[in-house]
Structure 1
């Protein structure tokens, strides 16, 4: 007698076929959005945000410039030569690029990687020379290398320059004041999503420095799989400059992270959090008018309430054994602070995981090597 396979059980083959069908349909929609005049940038933003992002680097080479409003004729422009030795940032850039080996694809021949590293140095110094108001920061190269690997030197230079004067503008001030200001948005977001975690972190005086490298490298420094990095960059390029800090406040799984971060932005926009974060407005926000994304293009997460209850229950269980010593003197408080750091690191690791590939990488949550 033949056994019944049951009702409502989908096989891996069917799941794969369904994804292939959605992928082909999405590719067609992206092609259509690119082919009209003017280009349908709103549709491209929706494609970049929705499941799977922009799918391939070939598509990204066509869409990323549109998302940043960079004209494609820059392909025809020969990048100017950069004088290195007399550049005040050259030594630090050189050191950072030399220790960026893991940001290049595994197995890439040394000769090819070394050429790309030279191009990486030139892109950074070229952008800084054109924009003397910008200041290099450690971790900037983690973002630039992503654009270099996807776009090549010419187009990467143009996009990185636009990005540096808009999305990354706050990080490129002579001081970290604006960067700290953006980090200050994290706790108000967490407070609204999970008040228990917020109160626990506040009591243990953890602060927000654990999220610094995530924010200023767009998570490029802590994600080991390049596919995951570019998928996240699809999302950030299509959204408000503060979206990375919303992304830092959410948890598993990866594609749901992107949906949840978008939901949080709609529910708790920066204007609502500004007073709690600080009194002044983000410079990146004030220069974002030509890249605005209407919140109506983002769909609420239908499982938000259920996920919130599940996370609250799990966190209460995890926190119960650690919080007992919070009220104790200095040594005990240090112990609890370490416990909370462990909790926030766990949350960050969850926020960087990918469905079905959670064991493929180990996030490094130190700042920079």
Structure 2
């Protein structure tokens, strides 16, 4: 087995029971939180610092920090979230029955001791989130295990944020899993054996002889390990890492897990059923921070293009991989939340002001008393203070709209505003 090159550790010191180390660890934690805070308030947001924090020891540390950082890692504007999903598409959606079945089976994914009523509310929200993403993205196809990703987001960031994040993930990191067939998912799994071959040829050859294949890692990959880990803190730690990484990072982590258990694997009878049984059950006490570091090293030493070339995998077009660079670039110019909040308030204020002007235009057409037309005389255009003026300003005939003001189109509304309040020309 090749010895992996390890980067110099920059994370905090581990606990060993001494007071001095505890103080040093607490100091490192405070420093990390300060660095994350500074990165979030930089303009633009220091996304590279946030990515390093998500991958380094302890990840993002708390759920409060995750609620602030996870959206930035996916370029989600927290002040421009979609509304809560409605219930209008539930029963009519083609995947409704399967989604409901999977959500009902997800009870173990909720915290122990949670009240049944609270869990029922969250399960309803989970169903709504999944169906809303599928409704808005008809090119995406539901797969069993998708709900494991969705429930992790829901439990950490809440309904509306989870909806926005799941939509982004579904069109990028998870995109290959949402094709109508399993071909793209098999393509991602096919990266596993070439990684093992580069690092431990003996282990690789043993697994080839056993004909175990890579299906044992399927649930790891498509649920980001959410389905196979019983401790939610480990799941969140891995989500920190994956949200900040390349879409193939879950398969690199799978390789590190197999390599970490190489002695167990080699001692097992070289039989497909035996090896599959061993590998498909992940020990719950794995050293995840160590494995994350090794996965990063593997990614640097054996990047996807190298593996694709050696394993002749490049013939399959991966949407997750091909769009990742552009997606990563799109995250580099985000404004901090303080700026986004101010801009949102300004936009809302301007919108309200514009609505007041428009309402005034519609209701207060003229404050002066207007002469009533004589019996049998038809009112001329312009006596309502708007249509005739509009005809005078533009010429030609004007169609009356449903509001009775002669504002038949949005463009006409803009023209009226230009005539009466030229300063509002650009507002529409």
TM over 0.5: yes
- 1:281 Cα deviation after fit: 3.6
Indicate the SS of the match to 2:241: helix
Map 1:124-273; keep pairs closer than 5 Å.
124-250=130-256, 251=260, 253-273=287-307
* Structure 2 portions without partners, runs of 5+: 1-14, 261-285, 330-428
- 1:82 Cα deviation after fit: 4.0
Indicate the SS of the match to 2:80: helix
**2:316 equivalent in structure 1:** 280
RMSD of equivalent CA atoms: 1.6
Contact (CA 8 Å) 1:49, 1:235: kept in 2 or not? yes
- 1:76 Cα deviation after fit: 7.2
**1:118 equivalent in structure 2:** 124
TM-score, normalisation: structure 2: 0.65
Counterparts of 1:208 and 1:12 in 2: how far apart (Å)?
43
* Structure 1 portions without partners, runs of 5+: 1-8, 294-369
Indicate the SS of the match to 2:255: coil
Number of residue-to-residue matches in the alignment: 285
Contact (CA 8 Å) 2:50, 2:69: kept in 1 or not? yes
Give the stretch that moved more between structures: 73-82 or 193-202: 73-82
Structure 1 residues 277 and 150, CA, compared in 2 at 3 Å: closer, same or farther? Answer: farther
Counterparts of 2:84 and 2:129 in 1: how far apart (Å)?
12
Indicate the SS of the match to 1:167: coil
Counterparts of 1:183 and 1:50 in 2: how far apart (Å)?
26
Counterparts of 1:118 and 1:133 in 2: how far apart (Å)?
24
Contact (CA 8 Å) 2:70, 2:243: kept in 1 or not? yes
Indicate the SS of the match to 2:91: coil
Q: String of CA shifts for 1:266-315, please: whole Å, max 9, x gaps.
A: 1001001113052224210112123449xxxxxxxxxxxxxxxxxxxxxx
1:58 is the counterpart of 2:32: no
Counterparts of 2:177 and 2:312 in 1: how far apart (Å)?
16
Counterparts of 1:82 and 1:230 in 2: how far apart (Å)?
32
Counterparts of 1:119 and 1:261 in 2: how far apart (Å)?
34
Indicate the SS of the match to 2:79: helix
Counterparts of 1:181 and 1:76 in 2: how far apart (Å)?
33
Q: String of CA shifts for 1:177-229, please: whole Å, max 9, x gaps.
A: 00000000000001111111100000111100000000000000011111110
**2:376 equivalent in structure 1:** none
